Structure 1
């Protein structure tokens, strides 16, 4: 949590040497590597990223960097499918560090239902899985109902608000949940009552999804959106997507109230890697850290490579006006 930041956070500029991580052959991460959680541990940036081979069964790997741009990754994944509800993938991690424990939320995928799951660790290597977090909850209920359990994208606020622990979650629309122990979570509303929904006629007209861990700014609790997405269904039934990144500000004194939204995306597909891959035309942010006096936002490029965008507080919005 930071108080030397303001909403909106930025502007962010993609790093000129992206991608910073690519798949590597002959291994569990040989086909695609993307969608990282991020945090700072012992003066290093640590990424927990999703990757897989040609079988598209996702695992979560770990990489470290002393500068935020050049990473050394471990040879083996730190979290892999072991339970029936995740037998085809442990996907899209987000992470919080609270009182000596790492709380990792991720999507368990069985090729039918995507379920938001929780795992905990004290060392980033030995994990205790606590299973799916919500039952009979469809975060697409008001957007494009699935008709069965579907929940993704959970970020835990690393400080108590109003006497409880809070989580914001959802793909399709966004919801909130609270907890007394950080393990057992209760949604605050039915899935028919999201706290934030897509905005018709805007860059997030078709769906919204939680992105990075929250940041307490001088004018609200900032939550980056993984995407404000538009989707086009073609005559042959295929779907074209355009995943862009947004931001919202939440009232810490009334944590179910959205104060403001960024009217335009702060990141959108621009480069070859952003526009070409397993799922093309996607920038998918899940990791945000303040490191060496800069903000670093880590994102997946078309579900295939991993990149970073940089915001320098010395270059705020409009800093170039009049130059």
Structure 2
């Protein structure tokens, strides 16, 4: 049955957590939301075949964002919202087969975007090309320190092994690449494993989300199949948490019969709140009996977890139902037709939370939560 408008959006964002006609006040007090899709504005970024970029690797002009634009990071600077989105050219066929670069758009209201027309992070003739060519730079998450240094944690994809890489910037335009984040820890033990999706710990301070520390160190959650963690002293070299056997310590995992039965992939930067640490994440649903029949098989829906502020490795609670599911046509059509709301960018801007997400690996959209309205 077709549903549209604010009511359906609210059901998807909040009341879906407690089915039927129950009030959205049933939304747990620790969770962030409900997030509402603004009417008539999405998608806010779509593929564009008119922009061109001189690729230093191939030494030719490319329509670098003509095939897909999706999976965005976000940050606030100079009272504007900046969205850094993954853009793919037409160099291949199928997910992961093309080259990705990170584009930049700015907005004075968090919704209407003005794109720069050029990528700001991309494979180049630099010391990272062995990790980034020919797949590129994918799926960024961005957060900012107290002194105004922006950290981007992104996937370096050479079409062999996906690795988490770090880059820093003062202006969101010029980025310094620091390379794979696990290359030094434990003598490189985790350097060559597949690593993706890093959500650094932040907290709301003076009206803006800023990178925070736990016991004197930076903290992040990361991982696609499970939720792991890592610590750092400088934001670019990270040490994964391990168990007594030296294996990666699993903090949260997929659950049979739930919307996150296949993957629990970390989303935007985690937030330290008065209730604990809230991690927004992307849950992938399995097909068949192991998945949740209420959601499309293989779809990505958005969930939330609560970790202890006293011990960030301790999972306290978790939503049993997603707070966002693929609903709009552009969230269910594209290069990932099973449906995707893939959350990666979160900012606090003018008293509201703006959540930026990828739609079916093809477009960028936004949902908004106004705390005073809840």
1:96 aligns with 2:143: yes
What residue is the counterpart of 2:358 in the other structure? 300
1:58 to 85, 100, 109: 100
* 1:104-253 → structure 2 map (5 Å cutoff): 104-134=152-182, 135-137=188-190, 149-157=193-201, 158-189=211-242, 190-225=246-281, 227-232=282-287, 241-253=298-310
What residue is the counterpart of 1:315 in the other structure? 373
Cα drift, residue 183 of structure 1: 2.1
CA distance in structure 2 between the partners assigned to 1:43 and 1:260 by the alignment: 34
What residue is the counterpart of 1:236 in the other structure? none
CA distance in structure 2 between the partners assigned to 1:160 and 1:10 by the alignment: 24
Aligned Cα root-mean-square deviation (Å): 1.9
Do 1:38 and 1:287's aligned partners in 2 also have CA atoms closer than 8 Å?
Answer: yes
Cα drift, residue 201 of structure 1: 1.3
Cα drift, residue 100 of structure 1: 2.5
Cα drift, residue 126 of structure 1: 2.0
Aligned pair count?
A: 297
Cα drift, residue 6 of structure 1: 5.4
Do 2:46 and 2:362's aligned partners in 1 also have CA atoms closer than 8 Å?
Answer: yes
Structure 2: any 5+ residue segments left out of the alignment? 1-27, 51-62, 92-97, 183-187, 202-210, 289-295
1:70 aligns with 2:70: no
| Greater fraction of residues in helix | 2
Aligned to 2:159, what secondary structure does the other structure show?
coil
2:329 to 268, 272, 275: 272
Cα drift, residue 124 of structure 1: 1.6
Cα drift, residue 110 of structure 1: 1.2
What residue is the counterpart of 2:348 in the other structure? 290
Aligned to 1:8, what secondary structure does the other structure show?
coil
Do 2:306 and 2:317's aligned partners in 1 also have CA atoms closer than 8 Å?
Answer: yes
Alpha-carbon distance change, 186 to 53 in structure 1, aligned in 2, over 3 angstroms: same
CA distance in structure 1 between the partners assigned to 2:270 and 2:258 by the alignment: 23
Aligned to 2:287, what secondary structure does the other structure show?
strand
Do 1:6 and 1:217's aligned partners in 2 also have CA atoms closer than 8 Å?
Answer: no
User: Rg: which structure is higher?
Assistant: 2
CA distance in structure 1 between the partners assigned to 2:368 and 2:177 by the alignment: 33
What residue is the counterpart of 1:144 in the other structure? none
Structure 1: any 5+ residue segments left out of the alignment? 139-147, 234-238, 317-323
- Higher RCO (CA 8 Å, separation ≥ 6 residues): 1
1:41 aligns with 2:65: no
CA distance in structure 2 between the partners assigned to 1:293 and 1:122 by the alignment: 24
Alpha-carbon distance change, 137 to 80 in structure 1, aligned in 2, over 3 angstroms: same
Alpha-carbon distance change, 111 to 240 in structure 1, aligned in 2, over 3 angstroms: farther
Do 1:92 and 1:107's aligned partners in 2 also have CA atoms closer than 8 Å?
Answer: yes
CA distance in structure 2 between the partners assigned to 1:260 and 1:185 by the alignment: 26
Cα drift, residue 191 of structure 1: 4.4
What residue is the counterpart of 2:207 in the other structure? none
Do 1:13 and 1:309's aligned partners in 2 also have CA atoms closer than 8 Å?
Answer: yes
Cα drift, residue 264 of structure 1: 1.0
